[in-house]
Structure 1
Amino acid sequence: MGKEKNKEPKVHRELNGFRVEIDKFGEIKGNFDIDKVNEFLNRNLEDKKLKHEG
């Protein structure tokens, strides 16, 4: 059983086409505007740091 290569991952429809790569210098390169990604994350994820405990 070989490892599957180049299989497209399942993604949320709003992030369809989103690609991230890390170059040889360790720099993260993406094809989406970072503000659009942050907006998506703010809508869909709970920020654990802001969660009130107690």
Structure 2
Amino acid sequence: MSKKPKKEETPKVNPELEGFQMNINSFGEISSSFSIDKINEFLNKNVDDKKLRDRDDLDELKKKKQ
């Protein structure tokens, strides 16, 4: 029995992250197609941080950045 060839499918991603690729080279170094700042900005907008939920000044800090 022959093995079926694996189809290389791209995962469904948020439109803001379209084209994002992460690679790990033979030395264990991680390389990315996006800058770290762009990734952090996306995560700050879209991911809830459990540690910061109960902070009273969090809303004020978000307003200052915008």
User: Which residue of the partner structure matches residue 44 of structure 2?
Assistant: 42
Amino acid corresponding to residue 43 of structure 1 in structure 2: K
SS at match of 1:21: strand
RMSD: 1.8
Structure 1 or 2: larger helix share? 2
How far apart, CA to CA, are the structure 1 residues paired with 2:53 and 2:4? 43
Structure 1 unmatched runs, 5+: none
Which of structure 1's runs of 4+ aligned residues deviate more than 4 A? none
Identity across aligned pairs (percent)? 52
Give the paired residue count.
Answer: 52
Larger Rg, first or second structure (1 or 2): 2
TM-score, with structure 1 as normaliser: 0.81
Structure 2 unmatched runs, 5+: 55-66
User: Which residue of the partner structure matches residue 26 of structure 1?
Assistant: 28
